[in-house]
Amino acid sequence: MTSSTHEAVERALDAARTELGIRCAFPAEVLAEAEQAAKRVATAAGGRQDRRDLPLVTIDPPGSRDLDQALYIRQEDDGGFQLFYAIADVGFFVDRGGALEAEAWQRGLTVYGPDRKEPLYPPVLSQGAGSLLPDQDRPAILFEFGLDAAAELRSTSVRRALVRSRAQLTYAQVVEHVCGGERRFAGEEWADGLAAMRRFGELRERIEAARGGVSIPLVSQHVTQLTTRRLGYAVEFETPQPSEEWNEQVSLLTGHAAAKVMIEARVGLLRVMGAPDPDAVESFRRAAGRLGFPWPEGTSYAEFIRGADISHPLITPLLWQARRVKRGADYVAFDGELPADPLHHALAMPYAHATAPLRRLCDRYVLDLLVQLCAGERPSAEEVKTLKRLPRTMDEAERRESRFERRAIDVAEAWMLRDRVGQRFDATVLGKRDGDVEVQIEDPPVRSVARTGDRKPAAGEAVRVTLDRVSVDEGRVHFSLA
């Protein structure tokens, strides 16, 4: 790889950021305010509980610095669980009405790219003073859950606390300790919590299945920057670690408990998703049959997805088709009257975003509200007004993020294929798109559209495609059926 080629990719990504309105450098007044805020020292005073005794750990991808959550799960003698979940207290550092908050509202989210990320808050906070880094006293919003032996929720409390994480772990390290032959972290005071996390996660997955929740087990396509190889940039498929699924159940429980508290108080911000369209489900049922996946009579969409054989050679086109069944998620703010349908139907329960305040704007306000409600207080009229402004801001931020993520993959795909014009590739048809077909190429793992001409291949059909043209700057590749 030449440096000019490497720069071409990053130039294309920068052009995409500009086109989509993704903010990059922070204004000087925002950085100055963040520097001053980072000097604040949290103490166990003014209602903040000292819980530095908890052996909390963070679990994130390798190299992460913006650590939103730390947890400890203790299994009790009766088989039940006590779950402590500390979330970064952004409200301690970011004053309402300041330049730092105003900048965050223009960003909405941390936007991750293969070359760099554009954080919601300046790194001095998001990767420093506000992050739950190990061996540091940190202000946090602490959730404490009591669960029975079946991992059913029995009690919830939310309060501000002072915490101290003991270790920063990766998902792979958790799996190695829990599932490996040797207990890698034997002797650590928090080690038993990892085994309890597995038991908790597996029980919560059963509860999810019983209530009809569905999570599409799609291996995600993402772009990685390869620093130890000559390639530079590549598209990969990422398969989650089991520990990610256990950790996800902690986050889902927290979001559900947050929604329950707000619904009971009749004020808050929910994440909702409509029920699947029956016609879309029926269309998917027919597509699954064409792809060779049996769908027994009486089996629901959720049951079918959970039982799908992920080793099947056509699993990728099947799950790609399944995504069409899901409706888009929305944010709904309310005060007094509840939303007409407060459910997130994919999860089959009420749900709210609350676990990533360093990376998602709305979570900070949900957390502030939860502390108030659990203390028996009510939000002010101005705070309710802020909640009602959030849905539009978050929707716009998520659209920008989604478009940039797709553009980053397009640019990386074009870069990988830049020297292969005229070559043929094995592919699988995913479905129709504007008179042509969308295909998944096997190697490299590229998803694209191919011109069909007079041919009309069906979903799941194996085809050969020819690469006709590539533009790295535009992030475009053009294929046709061979």
**What does residue 267 show for φ and ψ, rounded to 5 degrees?**
-155, 140
Run means of pLDDT, 10 residues per run, the chain, 482 residues: 63 93 97 98 91 97 94 95 98 97 98 91 98 98 98 97 97 91 83 95 94 68 46 57 93 98 98 89 82 87 84 76 80 96 94 98 98 97 98 97 90 89 91 83 84 83 92 91 88
For 422-481, give the CATH class: mainly beta
- 126 closest CA partner among 31, 23, 18: 31
Q: What angle is formed at CA 50 by the lines to CA 47 and CA 51, rounded to 5 degrees?
A: 130
Task: Give me the pLDDT at residue 246, please.
Answer: 95
Quick check: 449 and 438 in contact, CB under 8 A?
A: yes
Distance of CA 202 to the CA centre of its chain: 20
pLDDT at residue 46, rounded to an integer = 84
Start and end residues for every CATH 2.40.50.140 domain found in the chain: 422-481
**Residue 314: what pLDDT?**
77
Question: Six-digit token pair at 331?
Answer: 């944010």
How many residues in the chain? Answer: 482
The secondary element (H helix, E strand) that includes residue 283 is helix 278-290
* Residue-level pLDDT at 229: 39
Q: What is the pLDDT of residue 368?
A: 98
Residue 86, classified by CB atoms within 10 Å of its CB into exposed (0-12), middle (13-18) or buried (19+), is: buried
Query: What is the amino acid identity at position 53?
Result: D
Any bridge partners for residue 436, and if so which?
433
Peptide bond into 444 cis (omega under 30): yes
**Among candidates 178, 209, 192, 203, which has minimal Cα distance to 71?**
192
Assign 355 to helix, strand or coil: coil
Cα–Cα distance, 108 to 393 (Å, whole number): 7
Instruction: Please report the pLDDT score of residue 325 as a whole number.
Output: 80
Q: DSSP alpha helices (H): ranges in 21-93?
A: 28-37, 90-93
CB 5 within 8 A of CB 78: no
Phi and psi dihedrals of 306, rounded to 5? -65, -30
Contact assessment for residue 283 and residue 393, using Cβ atoms and an 8 Å cutoff: no
The two tokens of residue 195 are: 């085994």
CA distances from 278 to 123, 216, 319, 343 (A): 46, 18, 17, 17
Q: Are 255 and 271 in contact (CB under 8 A)?
A: yes
Token code pair at residue 229: 């190889």
